[in-house]
Amino acid sequence: MTDAEQPATIRLEVARYRPEQDSEPVFQGYDVPLMDDWAVLDGLAYVKDRLDGSLSFRWSCRMGICGSCGMNVNGEPRLTCGSFLAEYGDGPIRIEPLKGFPVIRDLVVDIDDFLDKLSSVRPWLIREGEEPPLTAEYAQTPEQLDAYKQYSMCVNCMLCYSACPVYVLDPDFLGPAAIALAQRYNLDSRDMGDRFDVLNLDEAVWGCVFVGDCTRVCPKHVDPAEAIQRYKLTAALRSVLPWSRR
Amino acid sequence: MIDVLIVGGGGAGLRAALAVAETDPALKVAVVSKVYPMRSHTVSAEGGAAAVIGVGDTLDEHCYDTISGGDWLCDQDAVEAFVAEAPRELIQLEHWGCPWSREADGRVAVRPFGGMKRMRTWYAADKTGFHLLHTLFQTTLKYQDIIRYDEWYVTTLVVDDGRVHGVVALDIRTGRVETIAARTVILATGGGGRVFPFTTNAAIKTGDGMALAYRAGAPLKDMEFVQYHPTGLPFTGILITEAARAEGGWLINKDGYRYLQDYDLGRPTPTPRLRAMELGPRDRLSQAFVHEQRKGRTVDTPYGPVVYLDLRHLGESKIDARIPFVRELCRSYQNLDPATDLIPVRPVVHYMMGGVHTDLDGATTIAGLFAAGETACVSINGANRLGSNSLPEILVFGRRAGVAAAEFARAHRESEPPAVRSQGDDEARRLARTREGSRTGERIADLRERMQHALEGAAGIYRTGDELTKAVDTLADLRERAQEARLEDTSATFNTELINLQELCAMLDVARTVVACALGRQESRGAHQRTDFPARDDETYLAHSLVHRAPDGTPSVGLLPVTITRWPPGERVYGRD
Amino acid sequence: MKRTLEPYLWLLFSGGGVVAALALPVLVLLFGVLMPLGVVDWPSAGHLTALLDHLLVRLALVVVVVLCLFHAAHRIRFTSEELLGIARFDLVIAVLCYGAAVAGGVTAAVVLL
Amino acid sequence: MTVRAPYRPPRDRLWFTRTRSATVFVLRELTSVFVAWSVVFLLLLADAVLSGTTREFAALAARPWMIALNVVALAATAFHAVTFLNLAPKATVVRLDGWRVPDWVIQGGNHSAWLVISGLIAYFVLRSS
Ligand SMILES: Cc1cc2nc3c(=O)[nH]c(=O)nc-3n(C[C@H](O)[C@H](O)[C@H](O)COP(=O)(O)OP(=O)(O)OC[C@H]3O[C@@H](n4cnc5c(N)ncnc54)[C@H](O)[C@@H]3O)c2cc1C
Ligand code: SF4
Ligand code: F3S
Ligand code: FES
């Protein structure tokens, strides 16, 4: 683009919450250049660099893999590095923090609760017996890998939590990603653990009413809704047939 | 008092934490990270991790590939240790659950990689770093005693009398500044690619750890060696992994010609040949691009000249099976499908071979201070890192640093000196002053851009003494101006502008050492190419550049001989049999 | 470990969902829409009585009724809680919903057996 | 300056109107009311048949409001059937020899079963009349 041309702009309506001055979020408008290849995140970076240095948001990889740039864009939870300004026509684009989490500042939300939940499902490979020497790997065929691979793709971006009405209403709900990650290990042929005690709870898999929005918004196609329903079946069968494992 | 305080929650930092937790559960371990650990940049690594496992491969061959790839600037004792321990580390990762891609019989699969004579690169599709980091992070959750300071930014090291005593860190969420006393500190803060304008590196890669060590008096090593990766997407700089070429992708110029054959990288073959053509080392491939550009054989785009990466002949099913993320990235960020379209690519700053000078156990010259990962320079990468050597490096040396730090902490039980509080208070005052804000100075983003362009102009793929000399002054001037930068955000809560300013200052320090080392090295070797000194000069420069911060704040560069064990310097041969 | 009734309720709910999906639309279509509209004729009273004559058919009907009602009760319980934000009264709501389903089941048994 | 705690937004009472999929979800769940109604209706029918008052029942069923109600119930139960049978593969992932049977195969099977059973029921009900 040459300097002479006036670049087209698009308006971003950005939610601001500065705990020192705002008692609740307010919207602030910014006009940013409407470039074909700019992601919404590039628009925000432009605001921060050129218009208002006091705007706070998280981002890092800008390639959809670190999971830090999730926000509510026009009411939908999105990774802002993977959503483009041009998708939103003439704008304005409303950018808010992810729904369902306490807002720390502007577009930054508190996700510590998720990390506690993640720990609680024991998201690590559980083995019994002696640790074998580090000379050979555990065998795992491509088919066995396939059985859990999809659930291992979670980037912890929290879009699914934000989209799940159950979680938004009841923060005690263990929620989609944590359950999907528990299933990631449950279905791993190398894992010998049992996570029934943490998953078979009212506020774990039984809290899910299968809205399915978690799966719809997941940018990594993890399909947490499926993970949860599958474990419901597992848990139900185990409850009626106590001798069956998994 | 923390026994082992790890700055950085990437692959190196988490591996170190696990090493301590597993070897001595009695020690108190803490991980401080400016982002949640699973957001660390290790998450972006795509292609794979090298370690000898296959039949027909030997440790010596991996050593030789690494050393010749590094243009004989690697310390060979370090390379030998690295190559020997890498397989164990990758198996350990497997035992922790890493979903490595597999052969039909259930063994771990390997793929070819640039500059490697054998297939030895383990991979988890093309999200290797992602899986590696999440596996490590989730495994650390098993150790409830590991203390985590998530979203805390370390602003300075507390050093007294040649010994480290902890760090001062800012809790980004509350703005609180705290001194964290520790018997040992491991820097695992990753690289600093953001000093350049066009990079594959994430926003957080601002060289903080290098700056922290450098300011504390520890020397940095080989800072002039900056790796350009030959295939980044224009505009975003998003990396198209080398695995795309390892699986059979071709680099072609605007005439559809596989131009690498003109640059002594061998003859084109339909299927990939190891250590030849597209599987040559990154420095040579990026340099070839510059020559193509000069010959007018690249394609101009709004974001500079590009060549094409051609994956079409691989077919959709192979692309989806082996490099699905490449397809995902091309679709979302370039609006094209590699199964049917050519991918425009250009060289992009990717990795810093240099870093904090350490020995084989990650120890720096400051007692109790260790470094590991991309922020450190143990010297296994020399003048040019081979793709897929970095992930095993962060594991091998992350573990070694963890074990060594644990040992040091056990041996040094003295209580903290008064200097800890006083230095902590000084730093807290400095940060409080900065946060009062300023409406007058220049914007952080402007200063950052100036720095990036100065560096790209002077310390790009090809360098000259004149331009480097000019950059020395530009950067010194920018460093001054950064002290007066404008800061609009005065909030204590999640003040990212304050963090950005700290990062800018770190980058300016790092940038100055890059330029100083590049100016000092009057030869061409690996990723450091001086048009005014085009030949390699083993007579004078078979040595590392070691850069200290002089009392007046300027970088002062010296030389340290390279350790040679079994591989005397030779010619780097690719594609010629 | 905390005991929970949910797995059993969920099995009933799922079974009811399947039964309701397979059997209800066609029955409603025939008896609720097509016959009243006169598109198809009502079967003779004798035919209908004959259908219900088998004990097995009646037993099957009771099962269908019970399962479908449990399905409905389960969904109504959760949906009302989500829609109205009254999850804290879950116990009361659950007793009401499943209670109604049980009552319906008993009625069915009385009518049919 | 006082620093406030993180902001917790108030409950959004109209959450189910915010996205199309949430509305579809609520509609899907509300079909259960009509499932219950259909069962009641069939019970009334069975009672009438067994007590010989089929004629009165037919008259009741032919009232316009009754027909209207049952048309809605038909739509709701059909919607229930489609959604429920489509979602079934989520809970029951079938693997043959490591190969995952695609969702659409299972869904197709479910829908076929639905057709067959509906046909059978219709056949038995309408057989001799
Ligand atoms: C796009 C891309 C692809 C790559 N692909 C490959 C590959 O295929 N194979 C390979 O071998 N290598 C690859 N690499 C290189 C490799 O990924 C990195 O070198 C390696 O991951 C670095 O790991 P690390 O642990 O040293 O640092 P990082 O993962 O970068 O972690 C740094 C940590 O330090 C913390 N930190 C930094 N500064 C501070 C501070 N001031 N205070 C507190 N915490 C701080 C950060 O929060 C972070 O947790 C790739 C690199 C890139 C950019
Ligand atoms: S399951 Fe998907 S949406 Fe949820 S956190 Fe993981 S990647 Fe994000
Ligand atoms: S949106 Fe929520 S209710 Fe279940 S299916 Fe997903 S977790
Ligand atoms: S910035 Fe990393 S996912 Fe968007």
- The residue-averaged pLDDT of B46-61 equals 93
β pairing state of A9-16 and A26-33: antiparallel
pTM of the model: 0.95
Determine which of D2, D3, D4 to mutate to test the interface with B (most B C-beta atoms within 10 Å): D3
CA angle at D61 for the pair D57 and D67, rounded to the nearest 5°: 175
pLDDT tens for each residue of A146-172: 999 999 999 999 999 999 999 998 999
pLDDT tens for each residue of B399-413: 999 999 999 999 999
Q: By alpha-carbon position, which residue is closest to atom 8 of ligand 2?
A: A157
**Widest CA span in chain C:** 58
Distance CA A112, CA A118 (A): 10
pLDDT tens for each residue of B283-319: 999 999 999 999 999 999 999 999 999 999 999 999 9
Q: Are residues A117 and A150 in the same domain?
A: yes
Q: Are residues A135 and A218 in the same domain?
A: yes
Q: Are residues A53 and A116 in the same domain?
A: no
Distance CA B230, CA B347 (A): 4
pLDDT value of position A197: 94
Index of the ligand 4 atom closest to the CA of residue A155: 3
Domain spans in chain C, listed from the N-terminal domain onward: 6-16+44-112
User: Residue A134 maps to which CATH number?
Assistant: 1.10.1060.10
Give me the percent of chain B exceeding a pLDDT of 90.
95
- Own/partner contacts of A26-32, CB < 8 Å, gap of 24 or more, are A27/A94, A28/A52, A29/A92, A32/A85
CA of B192 to the centre of ligand 1 (A): 9
pLDDT value of position A36: 87
Q: Is residue A116 part of a domain?
A: yes
Distance CA A185, CA A195 (A): 9
**Cβ neighbours of B159 (radius 10 Å):** 25
What sign for the dihedral angle of Cα B254, B256, B261, B266?
positive
Domain ranges, residue A72: 3-109
| Consecutive H or E run containing B308 | strand B304-310
CB neighbour burial string for B363-377, b if at least 16 within 10 angstroms, e if fewer: bbbbebbbbbbbbbb
pLDDT value at A2 more than 50: no
Complex ipTM: 0.94
Distance CA D65, CA D70 (A): 8
pLDDT tens for each residue of B493-526: 999 999 999 999 999 999 999 999 999 999 999 9
- Which of the four pLDDT bands, split at 50, 70 and 90, describes residue B437? confident
pLDDT tens for each residue of A189-232: 999 999 999 999 999 999 999 999 999 999 999 999 999 999 99
Distance CA B451, CA D45 (A): 84
CB-based touch C/B (3+ pairs, under 8 A): no
- The residue-averaged pLDDT of C98-102 equals 94
- Which of the four pLDDT bands, split at 50, 70 and 90, describes residue C4? confident
DSSP state string for B478-504: HHHHHHT--B----SSS-HHHHHHHHH
Among A80, A109, A138, residue at a domain's last position: A109
Minimum CA–CA partner of B490 in chain D:
D1
pLDDT tens for each residue of A43-63: 999 999 999 999 999 999 999
Q: Are residues A119 and A211 in the same domain?
A: yes
Question: What CA dihedral angle connects C66, C67, C72 and C78, to 10 degrees?
Answer: 120
Distance CA B68, CA B370 (A): 27
Q: Is residue A35 part of a domain?
A: yes
pLDDT tens for each residue of B168-197: 999 999 999 999 999 999 999 999 999 999
Question: What CA dihedral angle connects D67, D73, D78 and D79, to 10 degrees?
Answer: 130
Question: What CA dihedral angle connects A109, A111, A112 and A114, to 10 degrees?
Answer: 160
pLDDT value of position A5: 61
The number of CA neighbours under 13 Å toward the Cβ of A153 is 21
pLDDT value at A246 more than 50: no
pLDDT value of position A1: 44
Among A90, A109, A128, residue at a domain's last position: A109
Q: Are residues A100 and A145 in the same domain?
A: no
pLDDT value of position A6: 66
**Sequence-distant (≥ 6) Cβ neighbours of residue C104 within 8 angstroms:** C65, C66, C69, D36, D39, D40, D43
Q: Is residue A183 part of a domain?
A: yes
Distance CA C95, CA C98 (A): 6
- Which of the four pLDDT bands, split at 50, 70 and 90, describes residue B486? very high
CA distances from C81 to A221, D14, D26 (A): 29, 13, 12
Q: Are residues A29 and A143 in the same domain?
A: no
Q: Are residues A136 and A103 in the same domain?
A: no
Residues of chain D with pLDDT under 70: 1-2, 96-98, 128-129
* Number of structural domains in chain A: 2
Between residues A131 and B76, which one has the greater pLDDT? B76
The residue to mutate among B374, B378, B384, B399, having the most atoms of ligand 1 within 8 angstroms of its beta carbon, is: B374
- Ligand 3 neighbour A217 (Cβ under 6 A): no
Q: Are residues A102 and A128 in the same domain?
A: no
Alpha helices in B54-207 (DSSP H): 59-69, 76-95, 128-140
Nearest CB to A201 within list C4, C11, C79: C4
- The residue-averaged pLDDT of A241-246 equals 63
pLDDT value at C73 more than 90: yes
β pairing state of B355-357 and B376-377: parallel
Minimum CA–CA partner of D21 in chain A:
A213
CA angle at A8 for the pair A6 and A10, rounded to the nearest 5°: 140
Distance CA B317, CA B339 (A): 9
Q: Is residue A246 part of a domain?
A: no
Contact B296, B289 (CB under 8 A): no
pLDDT value at B539 more than 70: yes
Distance CA B366, CA B164 (A): 7
- The residue-averaged pLDDT of A114-139 equals 94
- State the burial class of residue B264 (Cβ atoms within 10 Å of its Cβ: 0-12, 13-18, 19+): middle
Contact yes or no for C25 and D127 at CB 8 A:
no
pLDDT tens for each residue of B259-279: 999 999 999 999 999 999 999
User: Residue A95 maps to which CATH number?
Assistant: 3.10.20.30
Would you please indicate which residues of B are annotated as catalytic (active-site) residues? 282
The crossing angle, in degrees rounded to 10, of helices C45-53 and D54-62 is 110
Contact B79, B63 (CB under 8 A): yes
Distance CA C36, CA C52 (A): 21
The residue to mutate among A73, A81, A218, having the most atoms of ligand 4 within 8 angstroms of its beta carbon, is: A81
- The residue-averaged pLDDT of A131-150 equals 94
Contact C70, C13 (CB under 8 A): yes
Among A75, A109, A143, residue at a domain's last position: A109
DSSP state string for A91-160: --EEEEPPTTS-EEETTEE--HHHHHHHHHT--S----SPPPPTTSPPP--HHHHHHHHGGGG-----HH
Determine which of C10, C89, C93 to mutate to test the interface with A (most A C-beta atoms within 10 Å): C10
Q: Are residues A105 and A117 in the same domain?
A: no
Phi and psi, residue B305, nearest 5°: -70, 150
Contact A13, A93 (CB under 8 A): yes
Q: Are residues A118 and A30 in the same domain?
A: no
Q: Are residues A163 and A90 in the same domain?
A: no
Q: Is residue A245 part of a domain?
A: no
